[in-house]
A and B are shown apart, each in its own frame.
Chain A
Amino acid sequence: QSALTQPASVSGSPGQSITISCTGTSSDVGNYNLVSWYQHHPGKAPKLMIYEGTKRPSGVSDRFSGSKSGNTASLTISGLQAEDEADYYCCSYAGSSTYVFGTGTKVTVL
């Protein structure tokens, strides 16, 4: 049950695109198309941004997109806005009805 690896921080200027990686193993990210991404402002409830690797829930901006290659999933935020500044976590199903979260990435809008 080792955490998925994410960069500690990513930053970009307004309007730019950034990508956050989430690296796991063949037992979790690489074995299932069941990666979700969450936006988390401390003190608030995490918000689902992407599910099943690439799908966006209703109401989430199309500036957010997800992808996966091998054991690494990625979240891309296009047209970065000040309101996107938050912590972002990936989460993958890891088999046997367990989940594993990423280490988290702090996104800063310069």
Chain B
Amino acid sequence: EVQLLESGGGLVQPGGSLRLSCAASGFTFSYYAMTWVRQAPGRGLEWVSSISGSGGSTYYADSVKGRFTISRDNSKNTLYLQINILRAEDTAVYHCAKDGRYADPTTPPDYWGQGTLVIVSS
């Protein structure tokens, strides 16, 4: 059974940083691209970032480019999202998700975690 468990969310001041983690199990982690998706309060789902199975290629939404860094440790079956220079509009539930088919991000996710809440507020 595929399981994805996010952690690392919390309350942070504007301009601050957090590192989110996602522990994966139930599949061969390195075979699949992985993705972060967020949902701000009262808003819809928004693609944030994806990473190839090897970790060698990363992709970002324009809204987070330059502030967020996605990475993975295939030896630990763990996905990360380093989020810096946080803004109020980054307040959201952050979900990690396993991509559908390949090691490169081309097929939308098939399994998701429940998410971790990030609140940016002074």
Residues of A within 8 A of B (CB): 1, 3, 34-36, 38, 40, 43-48, 51-52, 57, 89, 91-93, 96-104
Contacts known (A97-B104, A99-B105); A89 close to B44, Cβ less than 8 A: yes
Give the docked Cα–Cα distance between A57 and B50 (Å): 22
Chain A residue at minimal CB-CB distance from B115: A45
Quick one: which of A51, A52, A99, A103 contacts B47, CB cutoff 8 A? Answer: A99
Does A104 lie within 8 Å of B105, measured CB to CB? no
Chain B residue at minimal CB-CB distance from A44: B114
Contacts of A91 in B (CB 8 A): 45, 47, 108-109
Tell me whether B46 is interfacial, beta carbon within 8 Å.
Answer: yes
Residues of B within 8 A of A (CB): 4, 33, 35, 37, 44-47, 50, 52, 57, 59, 61-62, 95, 97, 100, 104-115
Contacts of A96 in B (CB 8 A): 59
Quick one: which of A51, A97, A100 contacts B59, CB cutoff 8 A? Answer: A97
Does B107 lie within 8 Å of A51, measured CB to CB? yes
Contacts known (A43-B114, A46-B95, A51-B100); A97 close to B105, Cβ less than 8 A: yes
Closest-CB distance, A103 to chain B (whole angstroms): 5
Give the docked Cα–Cα distance between A32 and B115 (Å): 28
Give the docked Cα–Cα distance between A58 and B50 (Å): 25
Pairs A-B, 7 closest by C-beta atoms: A104-B44, A36-B108, A97-B105, A45-B112, A99-B47, A91-B108, A101-B45
Does A45 lie within 8 Å of B95, measured CB to CB? yes
Contacts known (A97-B105, A99-B105); A104 close to B110, Cβ less than 8 A: no
Chain A residue at minimal CB-CB distance from B37: A101
Contacts of B104 in A (CB 8 A): 97
Contacts known (A45-B115, A99-B35); A104 close to B45, Cβ less than 8 A: yes
Contacts of A51 in B (CB 8 A): 100, 107-108, 110
Does A93 lie within 8 Å of B95, measured CB to CB? no
Contacts known (A34-B106, A51-B100); A98 close to B50, Cβ less than 8 A: yes
